[in-house]
Amino acid sequence: MSNAHPAFELVTSAEIESLGVRVEEYRHTVTGAQHLHIAADNRENVFLVALRTVPQDSTGVAHILEHTALCGSDKYPVRDPFFTMIRRSLNTFMNAFTSSDWTAYPFASQNRKDFDNLLDVYLDAVFFSKLDPMDFAQEGHRLEFAETDNPDSELVYKGVVYNEMKGAMSSVGAQLWQTLSKYLFPTTTYHHNSGGEPADIPKLTYEDLQAFYRTHYHPGNAIFMTFGDIPAAEHQAVFEEKALHKFEPLHRTIGVDREDRYLAPVSVEEHYPLSGEEGLQEKTHIVFGWLLGDVTDLEEVLTANLLAGVLLDNSASPLMKLLETTDLGTSPSPLVGLDDSQREMVFVCGIEGSERDRADELEKQILAVLEEVAEKGVPYEQVAAALHQLELHQREITGDGFPYGLQLIMTALTGATHRGDAIGLLNIDATLEKLREKIEDPRFIADKTRDLLLENQHRVRLVLSPDDKLAERREQAEKARLAEIRAGLSDGEKQQIVQTAHALQERQQREDDISILPKVGVEDIPAEMPKVEGEETELRRQKLTRYGAGTNGIVYQQMVCALPEFTEEEKQLLPYYCQVLSEVGLGDRDYLEVQQWQAGVAGALHSFTSSRTHIDDVQQMQGHFVLSGKALAANQSALTELMQATLEQVRFDELPRIRELLLQTLARREQGVVGNGHALAMAAAAAGYNRAAFETHASGGLLGLRHLKGLVRSFETDAGMEKLVNHLEIIHRKIIGAERQFLLVGEEDRLPQFSDALTPLTNDAVGTAPADTAPFDPHRVQQLWIADSQVNFCAKAYATVPMTHPDAPALSVLGGFLRNGFLHRAIREQGGAYGGGAGHDSNTGVFRFFSYRDPRMGETLRDFDASLEWLADEQHKDEQVEEAILGVVGGLDKPGSPAGEAKKAFHSELYGRTHEVRQEFRRRVTQVRLDDLQRVAATYLKPESASTAVVTGTQGREAGLELNLQEEKL
């Protein structure tokens, strides 16, 4: 039992055996601040403080405040304590988020000194922020002249959030969700874009920002959340001493009311901008959204999730089957599913690749499916499978993206935000048991379908159609607004704009005394990186590597084989082979029956290929094919049977299914360009240096996307489909004929039993030497990729060295050094991009610069070069090198989930990245010095040898061509 600090009282607590944690809820007796502590035997401690933020417009006030609050506080009045602390820390996670109804400031660290440092800075930043007007101008929005010192030049809007949201709202998915929300929520905060609409952001005043801060950033409106092995009372002592004792109660309650309900469904049509170069036909999105129940009712939440699972979980689910197979569109909408992250849940389904005049027919088809479910129900096996997936999701210990503790905190945050049962959202076993009893009634899902969907009048039909002139009209409207503002400016006001720009530049260039900020140093780095111990054994003369790990009753298993020799065409098709393999029929079963089989026994079943260069030669590489599955331990034999059937009985004769799968993949990848533009630009820039870098670009990059478009076009003829299927069958024969090895991760005491169950997956293949890497002709790349984006993603790349080369550690440290000391200020603060930096990829032997959601192009590319001049010419401090070292080591030591750590160790060993090799690399990182950085930069990063790639929209085409970049079209 935890003892609360005297300033807090215990409200309730619960042991959650399925998660191995104890959850305790406390209340601060003076301010009413809530503290939810998740006590766990885990040294990665997590902190988050969230404020309920409910904006009443789309000016982005909560989002801009999130940025500005981190730009200096009473105790730490330096210009940028957040980004400075990232450099002075061994954190495993540090960020801030703005959601639709809360703003959160989380971090995680495995080092207690580091955790305490970050907690001190975060508490001061949130509750005692300076909110300097210059930071508002930098992070939010400001007016500047296109030629800074020339009042006769055009006015332009600048600001980090302004440019971030221009990039974010280039995504069709974001526009879909925001537009649907506008109509689903006519009266509450979700009607507005909490991130900010680019057209509305300039309406926000500094006074509005201050007022929002005063009302929302008070402990009485705060939720403190912690996870790990530090006791709750120790956290509370810090909260009280550093912040809470300075506040009185907040005499108002901030929250979100229930939305008013429509008395009849609403149909609306809006438009989104799309370049007309490829035509506007079949580019319309048609989606339907229902407003459901309250997220604070756990049973209602799980029931809605179960219903969504029954209807949409897989291709055999009734509604998903319709959305995937209807000839009214190309694929299901990216929004399909249940959103339970807000005050009231939203159920969405629909299609993309359609036409506006098909909306009536689609509505009829969707309602007909729902009516059939409401009339006849669905087989018990399908409902049980959906509930099985819910249980797996609850049981799995994740943490390979977010820290595990932060995953749990984010799950509970929704309930806490709306003053509901936050602990209940984590402790769902009893409610799952109740649902198991309820689904025995064959009418349960049928009645829920009628109640929650068919008879629910709060339904919105949204038709979002493309408009190839909309982007231009928006740009013209912005220019007209700015011209009108400029025309109304007095000479004094013009000079004020010039002076503000100069004042901001001076502030950005100012060297603050950051010694007032706490720090950790190289001496605080543990000497050894954590080691995950596995055990090698044999299974019918084939290698089995197994790891004992606390997986909470889930078993993970993989069949792995070295990639055999493929033609170039087969290599291009490998990603699609992997996708199709677990999505088509097996033997006598069609794909719908297989989908249901998978849902009933497996938490996941998928295949992928991986490849790495040799640790001492980037021109040589090897790759592997992996079939990966996970299941509850009780289902392991059934999972093995499913995997065996997938390998031995796969059917490539379901041509409409294969076509449908690739159309869905094409839609997802096209929509992902603006969210992942920096990675795609870096892959394009690096592609000329070696085969590994080229294959990254040719499979998962922009070149791969272009190839996929051509592949889909070939489906217009039967010959095109037949050719694809022939290639898939050839690839499959080569894969199943290769020698296998196996990976197994599960609870230690059950490993022998789990191992025996894998025997059916073995084969009699004899190992052969992997194929030699095909010759590659290195060359420079100068490319301009045109996509539907309002902002730019810029990249430069240089050929370097592999992981074991003596210069590799210095190149890894160099990325952080350039980002911290030059690129962050030049590209983000002064240039207005959402982000920018540099890093070394030791797998491909390439050093890469990048910018993200960037309003500039040529200037950013010049800033990349200028950072190297700054490195060579300026005086630098040893502590700058130390900060960059901390960043590299923090990344190397970042923990994952128990199963994730085991899989990472296995696959690293597979490619020669043994623990000893990685430990030696880490040791050499800690010994890097300033002259090492200057030497490796001068040796490898010569601007005249750089490759360049930019992803932009049509508005950036002219600027890119002027830089002598070669236009590449998707």
pLDDT tens, 613-636? Answer: 999 999 999 999 999 999 999 999
pLDDT confidence tier of residue 513, bands split at 50, 70 and 90:
confident
Q: 298 or 681: which carries more pLDDT confidence?
A: 681
Whether the Cβ atoms of residue 92 and residue 895 lie closer than 8 Å to each other: yes
Question: Burial level of 945, CB count in 10 A (0-12/13-18/19+)?
Answer: exposed
Can you tell me the mean pLDDT for 315-337? Answer: 94
Q: 902 - beta bridge partners?
A: none
Report the pLDDT value the prediction gives residue 920, as an integer from 0 to 100.
96
- State pLDDT tens for residues 672-711: 898 899 999 999 999 999 999 999 999 999 999 999 999 9
Q: CATH assignment of 266-467?
A: 3.30.830.10
The pLDDT assigned to 501 comes to 92
DSSP notation for 838-894: EEEETTTTEEEEEEESBS-SHHHHHHHHHHHHHHHHS---HHHHHHHHHHHHHHHH-
Place domain 535-761 in its CATH homologous superfamily. Metalloenzyme, LuxS/M16 peptidase-like (3.30.830.10)
d(CA 582, CA 591): 9
Q: How confident is the model at residue 544 (pLDDT cuts 50, 70, 90)?
A: very high
Query: Which has the closest alpha carbon to 835: 99, 157, 163, 69?
Result: 163
DSSP H or E stretch at residue 544: strand 542-548
Average pLDDT on 296-320 reads: 94
- Rounded to 10°, the helix 298-312/359-376 angle is 110
Q: What is the phi/psi pair of residue 691, to 5°? A: -65, -35
Radius of gyration of the chain, Cα coordinates, nearest whole angstrom: 28
Give the pairing type, strands 266-273 and 459-467: parallel
Distances (CA, A) of 109 to 86, 96, 230, 233, 888: 11, 15, 12, 19, 14
Is residue 595 within 8 A of residue 316, CB to CB? The reply is yes
Q: Given this structure, which CATH class describes domain 31-255+490-516? A: alpha beta
Positive/negative CA dihedral, 912, 918, 920, 924: positive
The two tokens of residue 521 are 């140093």
**Residues 910-962: pLDDT tens digits?**
999 999 999 999 999 999 999 999 999 999 999 999 999 999 998 999 999 99
d(CA 733, CA 730): 5
Residue 67's H or E segment, with its range, is helix 61-69
Cα–Cα dist 713/691, whole Å: 27
Q: Show Cβ contacts of residue 620 under 8 Å, excluding neighbours closer than 6 positions.
A: 613, 614, 772, 773
pLDDT (0 to 100) of residue 790: 87
- Burial category of 590 from C-beta neighbours within 10 Å (exposed 0-12, middle 13-18, buried 19 and up): middle
SS percent in the chain: helix, strand, coil, step 5: 50, 20, 30
Q: Please state the φ and ψ torsions of residue 850, each to the nearest 5 degrees.
A: -155, 155
Domain with CATH 3.30.830.10 in the chain: 31-255+490-516, 266-467, 535-761, 782-969
Q: What percent of the chain is modeled with pLDDT above 90?
A: 80
Measured torsion, CA atoms of residues 749, 754, 756, 761, in degrees rounded to the nearest 10 = -160
**Mean pLDDT, rounded, of the chain:** 93
| C-beta separation of 861 from 812 below 8 A | no
Give yes or no for residue 111 having a pLDDT over 70: yes
Q: Among candidates 397, 899, 968, 300, which has minimal Cα distance to 684?
A: 968
pLDDT higher than 60, residue 80: yes
Q: Which of 141-145, 458-462, 829-833, 896-900 has the lowest mean pLDDT?
A: 896-900
Is 770's pLDDT higher than 70?
A: no
* 555-593 confidence digits (pLDDT tens): 999 999 999 999 989 999 999 999 999 999 999 999 999
Distance separating alpha carbons of residues 686 and 694, to the nearest angstrom: 7
Report whether 247 contacts 219 (CB < 8 A): yes
What is the spatial distance between Cα 967 and Cα 44, in angstroms, rounded to a whole number?
47
Locate all alpha helices (DSSP H) within 396-490, ordered by sequence. 404-417, 422-426, 429-438, 444-449, 470-487
Q: Are strands 604-614 and 34-39 parallel, antiparallel or unpaired?
A: unpaired
Cα pseudo-dihedral 582, 583, 587, 592, rounded to 10: 140
pLDDT, residue 769, reads 57
Residue 471 has pLDDT above 90, yes or no: no
Residue 527 amino acid letter:
A
- Judged by average pLDDT, the poorest of 11-25, 799-813, 848-862 is 11-25
Tokens coding 267: 């149909």
In angstroms, rounded to a whole number, what is the distance separating the alpha carbons of residues 547 and 545? 7
CA-based nearest residue to 397, from 701, 700, 40 = 40
Judge whether 623 and 613 are in contact, CB under 8 Å: no
**Residue 895's pLDDT is what?**
85
Beta carbons of 298 and 394 less than 8 angstroms apart: no
Q: Per-residue confidence at 767, pLDDT binned at 50, 70, 90?
A: low
- 178-219 residue pLDDT tens: 999 999 999 999 999 999 999 999 999 999 999 999 999 999
Q: Distance (Å, rounded) from C-alpha 752 to C-alpha 756?
A: 6
Q: Are strands 554-562 and 344-354 parallel, antiparallel or unpaired?
A: unpaired
Which residue carries 């939440």 as its tokens?
301
Distance, in Å, from the CA atom of 457 to the CA atom of 454, rounded to the nearest integer, reads 8
Instruction: Write down the pLDDT at residue 2.
Output: 55
Residue whose structure tokens are 């996941």: 604
Confidence check: pLDDT of 1 > 60 = no
Angle between helices 718-736 and 702-714 (to 10 degrees): 120
pLDDT of residue 774: 76
**122 against 509, higher pLDDT:** 122
DSSP letter, residue 260: P
| Residue 85 tokens, joined | 């602390």
Asked if the model's pLDDT at residue 394 lies above 80, the reply is: no
**Nearest 5 degrees, angle CA 258-CA 261-CA 263?**
170
State how far the alpha carbon of 480 is from the alpha carbons of 476, 524, 955, in Å.
6, 56, 17
pLDDT of residue 401: 73
Residue 507: which pLDDT band, with cuts at 50, 70 and 90? confident
Q: What is the DSSP letter of 658?
A: H
Model confidence at 400, in pLDDT bands (50, 70, 90)? low
Instruction: Name the residue among 577, 944, 582 with its Cα closest to residue 727.
Output: 577
Q: Return the structure tokens found at 831.
A: 């240039």
Mean pLDDT of 461-488: 93
At the top level of CATH, the class of 782-969 is alpha beta
**pLDDT tens-digit readout, 338-356:** 999 999 999 999 999 999 9
In 30-118, beta strands by DSSP E: 34-39, 45-52, 93-94, 97-98, 102-109
pLDDT value of position 336: 95
User: Distance between CA 628 and CA 959 in Å, rounded?
Assistant: 45
The predicted structure's pLDDT at residue 392: 86
